[in-house]
């Protein structure tokens, strides 16, 4: 393990111990007994969400640009990508990649084996491609809703296609699409619970493990509370980003 990875792991352990030390005295007995497991699962869910969102938004922007391209060699593959991964359940995708492709082993997959050798990597990979398909369509909608006059003005100013997209179109498209994309991030958080079905000990995976030990339905209530905390924090963060993206007049209107 690298130095950065070791520091990150030590930091998670320290934070988990600190949180449990703080909340255990005022927590129900079941939660206090299994607090480290709940917090560890919470961090795994957060990791999966952040990493898949960051990688997914990069892929989604590329897909959105391809979808709006007049070149069939770009637009058709992008359309099929979105159609397949938006048209099939996330659970099916997880099982196909983990139990299907994963069963081929290193010999069958070759250089692709690192993507399928453990549940965490498969979960991250699947969440990334799933959210990128949805976000790609969201950003495509933002791009096509930018007034055509913006393109004409950029062309008249002598900008090439990439400069027009980077400086004129994409900033406006992101501002248009951000509320819908914020909803996609929240949906991704809820969908990430499905990675527990491929042996990933995220928050839902840890909850199921704890339930298998004591058969107390209270553990699912604690999981709900932790998911609500994470969802609430994400909602606030995404809303702050949305406000930062607003034009001065729009921000004043939203505040009013």
Q: What is the pLDDT of residues 75-125, one digit of tens each?
A: 999 999 999 999 999 999 999 999 999 888 888 888 888 889 899 999 999
- Backbone phi, psi, residue 27, to 5°: -105, 155
Instruction: Report the pLDDT value the prediction gives residue 1, as an integer from 0 to 100.
Output: 61
Q: Report the C-alpha gap between 153 and 118 in whole angstroms.
A: 50
Alpha helices by DSSP H, listed for the chain, are: 3-23, 29-33, 35-67, 72-87, 90-95, 105-109, 119-144, 148-156, 161-164, 170-191, 203-214, 218-245, 248-255
**Cα 201 versus chain centre, distance:** 17
Cβ contacts of residue 39 below 8 Å, gap of 6+? 15, 16, 19, 20
- Below-70 pLDDT ranges, the chain: 1-2, 248-256
Q: Report the C-alpha gap between 69 and 92 in whole angstroms.
A: 30
Tokens 């081929």 locate to 104
Which domains are assigned to the chain? Answer: 40-245 (1.10.3720.10)
Token pair belonging to 207: 């909850």
Instruction: Report the pLDDT value the prediction gives residue 5, as an integer from 0 to 100.
Output: 73
What Cα–Cα distance (Å) separates residue 37 from each residue in 42, 44, 225, 252?
8, 11, 15, 44
């Amino acid at each position: 393990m690298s130095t950065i990875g070791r520091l990150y792991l030590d930091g998670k352990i320290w934070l988990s111990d600190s949180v449990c030390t703080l909340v255990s005295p005022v927590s129900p007995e079941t939660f206090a007994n299994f607090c480290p497991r709940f917090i560890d699962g919470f961090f795994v869910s957060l990791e999966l969400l952040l990493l898949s969102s960051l990688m997914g938004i990069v892929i989604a922007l590329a897909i959105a640009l391809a979808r709006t391209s007049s070149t069939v060699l770009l637009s058709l593959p992008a359309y099929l990508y979105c159609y397949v991964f938006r048209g099939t359940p996330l659970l099916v995708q997880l099982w196909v990649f983990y139990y299907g492709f994963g069963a081929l082993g290193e010999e069958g997959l070759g250089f692709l084996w690192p993507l399928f050798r453990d549940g965490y990597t498969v979960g991250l990979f699947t969440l990334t491609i799933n959210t990128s398909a949805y976000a790609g369509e969201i950003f495509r909608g933002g791009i096509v809703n930018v007034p055509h006059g913006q393109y004409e003005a950029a062309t008249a100013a002598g900008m090439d296609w990439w400069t027009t997209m980077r400086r004129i179109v994409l900033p406006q498209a992101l501002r248009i699409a951000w509320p819908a994309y914020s909803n996609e991030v929240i949906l991704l958080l809820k969908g990430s619970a499905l990675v527990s079905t491929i042996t990933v000990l995220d928050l839902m995976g840890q909850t199921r493990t704890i339930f298998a030990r004591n058969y107390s339905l209270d553990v699912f209530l604690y999981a709900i509370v932790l998911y609500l905390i994470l969802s609430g924090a994400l909602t606030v963060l995404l809303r702050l980003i949305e406000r930062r993206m607003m034009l001065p007049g729009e921000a004043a209107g939203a505040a009013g």
